[in-house]
């Protein structure tokens, strides 16, 4: 069973819920796909057994061979190449825009003028957090997109025999789409605020468009606040759990301590319900 945990925006408690689900699950694997800000490790405290560099192919121009025909720049949909012919005779490459699509290398007509080379853009940390298999993807600061790193992480490490909890990036970007693509269920974490609801609606639209089953967990729920409940009722979306606002959780979170044991029973029930819904 593969469960992605995501939220419309950062700071809603997505990692709190993802780690609580991983702790409550039997035979769990936790994949931290929030590669620009992976923080599941602060709560699960894994022993990292290996660190594996993640590389992508980028173009390298040999200006001695280049004929400055501009075919590579024309082929680049991301404007990562600028060719300056006579008298400058220069090709500029902006690696932060490059998506490693390979189009420039494909169209270049001169052998050896443009070759693809590996560039390290991130890494994977692999280890164990008690019984939980732990993997996190970490994108180097300044890199444009974590999408391919996430795709590689899922392909390389995801274990179908486990209950896999994918801690997604927040929002509705390509990285989120990549994370939740192909999972069995998506947990949407939201806070009962107008901003929280607005972002939740965007995420609901995304998962509906992708045809994925999903449910909501309300974080920092308050008895007198029915903002998310009213929306969910109207849209016929199941609220899987309400994690009441708790000073203990807020204080613990800032120290990297979450009360996993206290909530293990509740999150086992959430997992059971997700299984039924799948």
Residues that bind ligand SF4 (CB under 6 A): 59, 61, 66-72, 75-76, 78, 80-81, 83, 91, 98-104, 108, 110, 113-114
Q: How far is the CB of 97 from ligand SF4 (least distance, A)?
A: 7
CA distances from 23 to 67, 119, 236, 239, 256 (A): 58, 35, 29, 20, 15
Please say which residue, 46 or 59, places its beta carbon nearer to ligand SF4. Answer: 59
CB of 70 to ligand SF4, least distance (A): 5
Complex with ligand SF4: residue 75 or 174, whichever CB lies closer: 75
Are 82 and 73 spatial neighbours (Cβ–Cβ below 8 Å)?
A: yes
**Residue 153 CB, nearest approach to ligand SF4 (Å):** 21
- Give the shortest CB-34-to-ligand SF4 separation in angstroms: 24
Residue closer to ligand SF4, measured from CB, 69 or 158: 69
In the bound complex, what is the minimum distance in angstroms from residue 53's beta carbon to ligand SF4?
19
In the bound state with ligand SF4, the residue whose beta carbon lies nearer, of 41 and 148, is 148
When the beta carbons of 89 and 262 are compared against ligand SF4, the nearer one is: 89
Is residue 146 classed exposed, middle or buried when 0-12, 13-18 and 19+ CB atoms within 10 A define those classes?
Answer: buried
């Amino acid at each position: 069973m593969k469960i992605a945990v995501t939220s419309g925006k950062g700071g809603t408690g997505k990692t709190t819920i993802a780690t609580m689900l991983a702790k409550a699950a039997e035979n769990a694997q936790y994949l931290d796909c929030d590669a620009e800000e992976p923080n599941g490790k602060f709560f699960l405290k894994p022993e990292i057994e290996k660190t594996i560099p993640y590389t992508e192919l980028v173009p390298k121009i040999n200006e001695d061979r280049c004929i400055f025909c501009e075919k590579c720049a024309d082929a680049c949909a991301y404007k990562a190449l600028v060719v300056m012919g006579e008298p400058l005779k220069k090709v500029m490459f902006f690696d932060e825009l490059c998506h490693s699509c390979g189009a420039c290398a494909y169209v270049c007509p001169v052998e050896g003028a443009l070759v693809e080379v590996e560039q390290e853009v991130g890494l994977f940390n692999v280890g164990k957090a008690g019984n939980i298999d732990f993997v996190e993807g970490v994108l180097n600061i300044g890199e444009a997109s974590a999408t391919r790193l996430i795709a590689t992480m899922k392909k390389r490490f995801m274990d179908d025999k486990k209950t896999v909890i994918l801690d997604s990036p927040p929002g509705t970007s390509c990285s989120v789409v990549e994370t939740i693509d192909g999972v069995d269920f998506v947990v949407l974490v939201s806070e009962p605020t107008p901003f929280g609801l607005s972002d939740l609606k965007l995420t609901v639209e995304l998962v509906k468009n992708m045809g994925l089953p999903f449910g909501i967990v309300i974080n920092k729920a308050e008895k007198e606040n029915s903002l998310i409940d009213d929306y969910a009722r109207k849209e016929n979306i199941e609220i899987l759990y309400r994690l009441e606002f708790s000073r203990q959780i807020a204080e613990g979170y800032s120290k990297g301590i979450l009360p996993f044991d206290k909530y293990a029973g509740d999150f086992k029930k959430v997992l059971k319900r997700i299984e039924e819904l799948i």
